[in-house]
Amino acid sequence: MANDKKLVEAITSMEEDFAQWYTDVVKKAELIDYSSVKGCMVIKPDGYAIWENIQKELDKRFKETGVQNVYMPMFIPESLLQKEKDHVEGFAPEVAWVTHGGLEPLQERMCVRPTSETLFCDFYARDIHSYRDLPKLYNQWCSVVRWEKTTRPFLRSREFLWQEGHTAHATAEEAEERTIQMLNLYADFCEQVLAMPVIRGRKTDKEKFAGAEATYTIEALMHDGKALQSGTSHNFGDGFAKAFGIQFSDKDNKLKYVHQTSWGMTTRLIGAIIMVHGDNNGLVLPPAIAPTQVVIVPIQQQKAGVLDKAFELKGVLSNFRVKVDDSDKSPGWKFSESEMRGIPVRVEIGPRDIENGQAILVRRDTHEKVTVALSELETKVGELLDEIQANLLERARTHRDAHTYTATTLEEFEKTVEEKPGFVKAMWCGCQECEDKIKELTGATSRCMPFAQEQISDKCVCCGKPATKMVYWGKAY
């Protein structure tokens, strides 16, 4: 058999070089390939299948809240982008411009959408007339382009896939309610589906979205102690509405401006899954989003009846995403490959197992093996998948909590950031000068002001003046 003795290539250990470990995993687990377009990636079938499972689950949850899907153009005229000053200034360094159509120069250059606020606003200005037209609860699934200088697969690329929700409301209260609702939807999704615990909170004014009144975020902690912004929800107030003239007649026939929100999640989540759950053998995928939940590995498959039994078991497990590895590689190679790909449960079946009416189940998260009667296989696999999903969340939460620290003085803060990668909880006076100084001294940025506030002390960790908020700080991707 070809390459029958060649096991899956070793990956760099995360303790040795976390960045290289990450690159090894995304490549060797065949989630992506590099492209001839610098800064852009080819998402391969397993990588895209994870995104499809994320998309399917999020889309269902959006629609349960009344959201409908639409699609906007990918090009934005420059004049449209210029209408909201803060917004255009925030995105200007990352915009990719189209200057020619065929051989002819365009009368007005177009940007390839970095985000679609201006397109939705232009549309809403024509589509909304009366209070009866509200609320507008729209979302689109698309790709966007941001000309990043430094790129990494999934975490930061010049083109990436995402969803962007854009809603319009009659009152400020409704807009704020929707902003928080979508943030909580994201947080629940991360914890229930991705088995990834998150901190919910509000961004500081320095870190908020360009043009927003308020930005709310969910922040996750990766295995190396760095933070990853995993989803954001923005309350725009009526700023965009005034810039674009989005008005409606209320019940008293008075003209009012709408209040808007925007919220998004991206393929960056795949990078988060890798860095929260992965280990030195490769991916560890939560069953809820794993492209393949169960792999059946026939042992001594050349012997009569073994392959037939493997495919029979695939039928028994048809309620799960299951495949039979009937390749001509050795069982050891197949075991290593299934681990590299993060498949949650492996089923081993050979001649002796068939004779005894049993199979061996192996968990990806703990490597625990259990022998199960074939008559109980479907039930036991379902139980194992549920246990793995719960265990991954608990394990990630334990890791995050063990790498969350507190600091009450600047000296303590600097020492903690330098010696203990993770979140640092510390009080803040609310002044950007202190936020900037902390970043300059330590490289840590404010991740969020959590909804669940704690009174660690009454003084700002930086300047010692009276504190107004407890903030999660950390180095981030």
Q: What pLDDT is stored for residue 257 in this prediction?
A: 98
Q: What pLDDT is stored for residue 87 in this prediction?
A: 74
Q: For the chain, which residues make up each domain, given as ranges?
A: 18-277, 294-387, 404-474
Q: What pLDDT is stored for residue 9 in this prediction?
A: 63
Torsions phi, psi of 29, nearest 5?
Answer: -85, 0
> Residues 6 or more apart from 198 whose CB is under 8 A from it?
186, 187, 190, 191, 218, 219, 220, 230, 231
Q: 294-387: same fold as 18-277? A: no
The per-residue pLDDT for range 181-195, each reduced to its tens digit, is 999 999 999 999 999
> Residues 6 or more apart from 180 whose CB is under 8 A from it?
216, 233
Third-level CATH fold of 294-387: Rossmann fold (3.40.50)
Please determine, looking at this structure, whether the domain spanning 404-474 carries the CATH number 3.30.110.30: yes
Q: What pLDDT is stored for residue 262 in this prediction?
A: 98
Spatial contact of 124 and 258, defined as CB atoms under 8 Å apart: yes
Third-level CATH fold of 18-277: BirA Bifunctional Protein; domain 2 (3.30.930)
Beta pairing class for 32-34 and 41-43:
antiparallel
The tens place of each residue's pLDDT in the chain, 477 residues long, gives: 334 334 456 799 999 999 999 999 999 999 999 999 999 999 999 999 999 999 999 999 999 999 999 999 999 999 998 887 777 787 788 999 999 999 999 999 999 999 999 999 999 999 999 999 999 999 999 999 999 989 999 999 999 999 999 999 999 999 999 999 999 999 999 999 999 999 999 999 999 998 899 999 999 999 999 999 999 999 999 999 999 999 999 999 999 999 999 999 999 999 999 999 999 999 999 999 999 999 999 999 889 999 999 999 999 999 999 999 999 999 999 999 999 999 999 999 999 999 999 999 999 999 999 999 999 999 999 999 999 999 999 999 999 999 999 999 999 999 999 999 999 999 999 999 999 999 999 999 999 999 999 999 999 999 999 999 999 999 999
Q: What pLDDT is stored for residue 89 in this prediction?
A: 80
Dist CA 386 CA 320 (whole Å):
12
